[in-house]
Structures are given as structure tokens and as C-alpha cells.
Amino acid sequence: MVYCALEYAPIARQIHAQQERQGMSSVPLMAIVDDDDALRNSLDNLLRSVGFRVQGFASAEAFLQAHHAHETACLILDVRLVGMNGLELQWQLVSANWCIPIIFVRAYADDDARAPLPPAQWPFCPSPAARRISSRQ
């Protein structure tokens, strides 16, 4: 799981550098919304190791209830969640005029989750589970 999580570190560093250039001195908050505890904890540990503040949430509803959208520099969001899914959370944020960069992750290697997203939001970064499944086929 850490292997896949390492792919996100350069993106997180770019966000941090951009905020520093804009005069924001506080450490950016990276929010992780994923119902997979192991993946959420792995990403949390990785992002903290490179200097970010991290808040993890097991559901989209928990993220919305915590009222962290205003301080979230980047959202790492699972597409398939129980209850409100990742795409529905994205639309809720857009509807509320929150412009948060989102990195979508998913556990399945199929393409059906891409259809509702505009091309600018591609590509998806498959989770480690998808890599294991794809390598067996």
C-alpha cells in the first residue's frame, strides 16, 4: 500500500510549494476520504512524513460534517464509498463553490467510474488492491 501512496507525494509537495509562494505560512491540510482503513492510514503516515497536516475520514458524510473544506489544500477521495460516493461528494463541494483539488482513487481497475468525470480530472490512480487484481489477470 505504501508503494501506491508514494505516487501522491510529488503532488502534495507541489501544493505546499504553491501555497508558500502565495504567502500562506501554515502547513497545508490534506484530507483523505476512504473507507479502507489500511489505505487511509498508509496515506496518512506518508503525508505526515513529508510534512503535511492530515485528517482522515471513513466516509464522505464524515468529511462534510467535520467542516474542513475551507482549510483543505487537497482531497484524496475514494470513488466508491458506502453512502455518498466520491463523485457525489465532488458535486456537493462544487455546488457549494469549494474549489479543492481532488485526487480520486479507486479499488477496482474497471473504467465505469471515469464516465461521469470531465477529462481534466483523469487519470485515476488505482489503489494497491487494483494493482494486485490486475497483475493476476
Contacts of 6 (CB under 8 A, 6+ apart): 46
pLDDT of 137 higher than 50: no
pLDDT of 6 higher than 50: no
> Does the residue 19 lie in any domain?
no
pLDDT at 128: 52
pLDDT digits (tens, 9 = 90+) for 35-70: 999 999 999 999 988 888 999 999 999 999 998 888
Burial 75-101 (b: 16+ CB within 10 A, else e): bbbbbebeebbbbebbebbeeeeeebe
> Does the residue 16 lie in any domain?
no
> Does the residue 27 lie in any domain?
no
> Does the residue 91 lie in any domain?
yes
pLDDT of 92 higher than 60: yes
17 vs 68, which has greater pLDDT?
A: 68
